[in-house]
Amino acid sequence: MKSFFNTMTALVAVGVVALPDQLARALVAVEEPSGVPQPMVPVVQGCFSSSGDLEFNSAPKYNSKDECGNKLCQKLGKKVAATTQGQKCYCGDSYPPKSTLVDDKMCNISCTGFGEQACGGLGYYTVYNTGLELVDVHNLPDPSSSAAAKPTTTSTTSSAPTVFVTESNTPSASAQPQSKSNTAGIAAGVVVGVAVVGAAVGGLFFFMRRRRNREIEEEHRRNAAVNAFMNSGKPPSSSGGYSASDSRMDPVMAQRRMSSGSIADNEDYSRRILRVTNA
């Protein structure tokens, strides 16, 4: 009986001594090596000391690479996922800064849903590519190297000699063709203007001359009509016509007294004379 008790005590002691070692093995895991992103499959991209722009999603009871990267973040359309402290899950669309990438051994806490996987660490994040956009974090530019590559601009102040610029009135060779073209244009404009004025003056002259000729023609026509009216009678040699040389129509002869003593001398010759003509 005593030996049985001793045996049980020894077994309990061995179990108590072995329990912390098993618990330690259960809490400590090894980070999965980084891999090339694959379509629709969560792939580890490394251990980071910062979550960057990733946002906390949840703390699933059985957290793992597939749980966080596939079932939570990928279904939300997020391109990047991360786990930390074994249980917390983060989602987003961009990796943390490449400068925060650290050694994989810093992510050493086992996932609560799959103990052989490491789900980050205390203050460290295991980052995954969810397979929606195949971008390898190792191909991203290093901010530190790009900053180092930027040229440093230094400003120096130095006294420069004063330069006086004197404007010359001599026309340049390039300005001469332009002045020639301007002179030609002005000359052409003057010629055209003179031609227009000359044409206007000539047109006015011909118009006035033509108008004067029409007036002269009208005057001749009126005079011809009057003469035709006055000469419309027949000459005295014809039957009954009157003669333009009739002494009775002459005012001087009208004042003379006829030698025959005719009483017709006192007649008024200012009145119209009745003329009888034979047709």
The reply to whether 91 falls in a domain is yes
What pLDDT is attached to residue 152?
A: 44
What pLDDT is attached to residue 9?
A: 47
What pLDDT is attached to residue 130?
A: 95
With b for 16 or more beta-carbon neighbours within 10 A and e for fewer, the 184-210 pattern comes to: eeeeeeeeeeeeeeeeeeeeeeeeeee
The reply to whether 125 falls in a domain is yes
Sites in the chain below the pLDDT cut of 50: 1-2, 4-5, 7-26, 146-159, 163-164, 173, 175, 236-243, 261-262
What pLDDT is attached to residue 155?
A: 43
The reply to whether 31 falls in a domain is no
The reply to whether 70 falls in a domain is yes
Strand partners, 41: 38
Q: Is the dihedral of CA 52, 57, 60, 63 positive or negative?
A: negative
The number of domains in the chain is: 1
Report which of 48, 24, 49, 39 is spatially closest to residue 70, judged by C-alpha positions. Answer: 39
The reply to whether 58 falls in a domain is yes
Q: Are the C-beta atoms of 60 and 89 separated by less than 8 Å?
A: yes
Say what the alpha-carbon torsion angle 184, 186, 191, 193 is, to the nearest 10 degrees. Answer: 160
Report which of 112, 126, 34 is spatially closest to residue 82, judged by C-alpha positions. Answer: 126
HEC profile of 29-70: CCCCCCCCCECCECEEEEEECCCCCCEEEECCCCCCHHHHHH
Query: For residue 122, what are the domain limits?
Result: 43-138
The Cα–Cα gap between 108 and 119 comes to 7
C-alpha to C-alpha distances, 83 to 37, 106, 107, 136, 224, nearest whole angstrom: 17, 13, 10, 18, 131
Q: Locate tokens 């419309």: which residue? A: 232
The Cα–Cα gap between 25 and 116 comes to 10
Single-letter amino acid code for the residue at 267: E
The reply to whether 124 falls in a domain is yes
Element at 223 (helix H, strand E):
helix 175-230
What pLDDT is attached to residue 101?
A: 95
Phi (first) and psi of residue 2, to 5 degrees:
-65, -40
What pLDDT is attached to residue 151?
A: 44
* Residue 48, burial from CB neighbour count under 10 angstroms (0-12, 13-18, 19+): buried
Say what the alpha-carbon torsion angle 254, 259, 264, 267 is, to the nearest 10 degrees. Answer: 30
What pLDDT is attached to residue 240?
A: 47
The reply to whether 249 falls in a domain is no
Q: What is the pTM of this model?
A: 0.45
The reply to whether 62 falls in a domain is yes
The Cα–Cα gap between 130 and 80 comes to 6
Question: Each residue of 64-103: pLDDT tens digit?
Answer: 999 999 999 999 999 999 999 999 999 999 999 999 999 9
